[in-house]
Structure 1
Amino acid sequence: MWDYLQHLTYWDWLAFGTALLVLEIFGAGGYLLWIGIAALAVAATCFVVPVPWELQYLLFGVLAILTAVFWWRYQRAAGREPQGPGLNRRGSELIGRQFALHDAIVGGRGKIRVADSLWLVSGPDLPAGTLVRVSGQDGALLLVEKA
């Protein structure tokens, strides 16, 4: 076995990298992806230039760590994107905007059309077509007042 490990070719690294990528497909969660890419990079290097076995293992270790750190930093930076104040409050971006009533407000309830959606509104009784301003939100119900 020791003799085999001291005489690895690019085919061995290619097989190892492919096996890691196949295992990644079965749900490793990204952990084997970067190690597999490092093994494939070593295979490409050994194909172009004959590399002694010590350097192959060193190159594989360094590339595996570098690719993992690169991905970790990328994921960490992507996770820091600011979440808007309207996260999980879909209608909050409508506050302050004006719309015409689609259905009259009767008994405190009516509807406005926003793009291709109808929103349930609550406010003073007003006829259809009246311009209203969204003043707040209570869950999926928009609070309106006459503009």
Structure 2
Amino acid sequence: MMLDAIGGMATGWLIAALALAIAELAVPGVFLIFLAVAAAITAALLVAVPDVVVPVQLLSFAVWSAVAVAVGRRWYRDFPVTGGDARLNDRTARMIGSVARLETAIEHGRGRVAIDDGSWPARGPELPAGSAVRIVAVDGGVVVVEAMAD
């Protein structure tokens, strides 16, 4: 049968494995890589036993897909992926603890502080412009500062 001749080639399964592995890069989550592993194992089966018919190849792919997904699920359950820095996309949280200079004096509890390339409203004790301050909190869009010890 022509389908057996075409499907019996390990190259087709290797191409499928490669395509699935590349597609994994474009798709969120982790799933296609397990199917890529199953396709690669099926290709290895065809290299070892070249005359395997298409239904057996498909069965091999289905079984190895289930095995790879089960192993992957167990792996991710036993070794969960910990998140990166929780402050990664929270610019205001990253400012806490940093040192900055006052652009304007803090009078009546209000002033402005220069942070990186911007100017932020600040709240804190009365201090002259140019004073070094440490950012201790962020309340909405206002940074809360304290004087640096000299």
Aligned residues: CA RMSD:
4.4
Alpha-carbon distance in structure 1 between the residues aligned to 2:134 and 2:85: 26
Deviation at 1:143, TM superposition (A): 0.9
Question: How does 1:97-116 map onto structure 2 within 5 Å?
Answer: 97-106=98-107, 108-116=109-117
Deviation at 1:16, TM superposition (A): 9.1
Any unmatched runs of 5+ in structure 1? none
* 1:112–1:75 CA distance, 2 compared to 1 (3 A): farther
TM-score (norm 1): 0.58
Alpha-carbon distance in structure 2 between the residues aligned to 1:34 and 1:138: 45
Question: How does 1:1-147 map onto structure 2 within 5 Å?
Answer: 8-10=7-9, 14=13, 17=16, 21=20, 31-32=31-32, 34-50=34-50, 52-53=52-53, 56=57, 59-73=60-74, 75-76=76-77, 77-81=79-83, 84=86, 86=87, 90-106=91-107, 108-147=109-148
Deviation at 1:80, TM superposition (A): 3.9
Contact persistence 1:109–1:121 (CA under 8 A): yes
Contact persistence 2:42–2:57 (CA under 8 A): yes
Contact persistence 1:17–1:37 (CA under 8 A): no
Deviation at 1:121, TM superposition (A): 1.2
Instruction: Name the SS of the counterpart of 1:128 in structure 2.
Output: coil
Instruction: Name the SS of the counterpart of 1:127 in structure 2.
Output: coil
Deviation at 1:9, TM superposition (A): 0.7
Alpha-carbon distance in structure 2 between the residues aligned to 1:78 and 1:122: 41
The superposition leaves residues 22-55 of structure 1 with CA deviations (integer Å, 9 ceiling, x where unpaired) of xx68979765553354224312431354264486
Alpha-carbon distance in structure 2 between the residues aligned to 1:74 and 1:118: 47
Instruction: Name the SS of the counterpart of 2:50 in structure 1.
Output: coil
TM-score (norm 2): 0.58
Task: Give the letter aligned to residue 113 of structure 1.
Answer: A
Q: Percent identity?
A: 29
Alpha-carbon distance in structure 2 between the residues aligned to 1:74 and 1:11: 28
Instruction: Name the SS of the counterpart of 2:62 in structure 1.
Output: helix
Contact persistence 2:10–2:44 (CA under 8 A): no
